[in-house]
Amino acid sequence: RLKNLLNSYRPKSAIQIAEEKPAPFSLDEIRQGISEAQFEPFFQPKVDFKSGAVIGAEALARWRHPDHGIIAPQAFIPLLEERGNIDDLTFLMLERSAMACKELHESGYPISISINLSRVSLHDATLADKIAKVVLKTGLDPKYIILEITETAAMTDVAHALENLARLCMKGFALSIDDYGTGYSSLQQLTRIAFSELKIDQFFVKDLVHHESLRIVVQSSIDMARRLGVKSVAEGVETQADWEMLASLGCDTAQGYYIARPMDFESFRQFIPRAGV
């Protein structure tokens, strides 16, 4: 079914992603772009291995630049994180994504949306309240917002990070460990936060089919997730062989170019029912 789906549907937005590297942008240009709302979430589907249905999407920031087309996050996120303006983008992403999610629910698709939280933001003691305020304003139940945290992000300023994450959890948000396996892994910390999802980094998924050692690492991650009672998500699923291998290892959820590239909201809305049961 997935193969049919892929043959029948290629979102136009998939090829809008800028191929050439744009000139580096200054912080002022980026700020200007944010204030003019030129940034938006693109949505990359997360698909259930067993049913093939879309159960959610990761919201990935894109800059719809008036002169340079669609710009990927690498051209603006590091600068924003470095200079401390990343929250402006985070809240723009959060609000647009929560509104999009709410709209999908009203169309009969009760899916969740994942948002990337920067490690920088976790230092702010008021973060949880701010996030809750933005989401509650849209009327969406926070359990449909999954906050993705990189292992390293959660570990740099452990005390503040843990406090923020615990508060977000109490407010009903779902938490996900992003890029699992690439950080300064502190398995001890993993056990202190109520995560509901473990995202296995694409580094391990890439070449999985060809390397026994990668397979062992991925298998253990999937097994560990199951024993912890959390969902395992594989990112960077690019081929049918990747899909089949991960399915046989018992992985819960797939995300990657094999299913779809990140796409704008309208394309995503059209994609959901085609992928569904």
Tell me the CB-side half-sphere exposure of residue 106, using CA atoms within 13 A: 9
Q: Which residue is nearest to ligand C2E (CB)?
A: 256
Nearest to 57 by CA among 14, 100, 92, 119: 100
Cβ proximity of 190 and 220 under 8 Å: no
Nearer to Ca ion, 178 or 242 (CB): 178
| Rounded least distance, CB 175 to Ca ion, Å | 12
- Figure out which of the listed residues 13, 44, 116, 196 binds Ca ion, where binding follows CB under 5 A: 116
Indicate whether 13 belongs to the interface with ligand C2E (CB under 6 A). no
Could you give the CA distance from residue 73 to residue 17 in angstroms, rounded to a whole number? 11
Following DSSP, what letter does each residue of 133-178 receive, concatenated?
HHHHHHT--GGGEEEEEEHHHHHHTHHHHHHHHHHHHHTT-EEEEE
Q: Is 179 in the site for Ca ion (CB under 5 A)?
A: yes
Q: Please give the Cα distance from 242 to 30 (Å, whole number).
A: 37
From the list 52, 69, 73, 172, which residue makes contact with ligand C2E (rule: CB under 6 A)? 73
Q: Which of residues 106-145 bind ligand C2E (CB under 6 A)?
A: 116, 118
Region for 181 from its dihedrals, namely left if φ exceeds 0, alpha if ψ lies in -120 to 50, beta otherwise: left
Site string for ligand C2E, 246-265 (x = CB under 6 A): ----------xx----x---
Choices 39-47, 90-98, 172-180, 259-267 (CB under 5 A): range interacting with Ca ion: 172-180
Q: Does 151 bind Ca ion (CB under 5 A)?
A: no
Q: Cα–Cα distance between 238 and 13 in angstroms, integer? A: 18
Q: How far is the CB of 262 from ligand C2E (least distance, A)?
A: 5
Binding site for ligand C2E (CB under 6 A): 44, 60-61, 72-74, 77, 86, 89-90, 93, 116, 118, 178-179, 202, 235-238, 256-257, 262
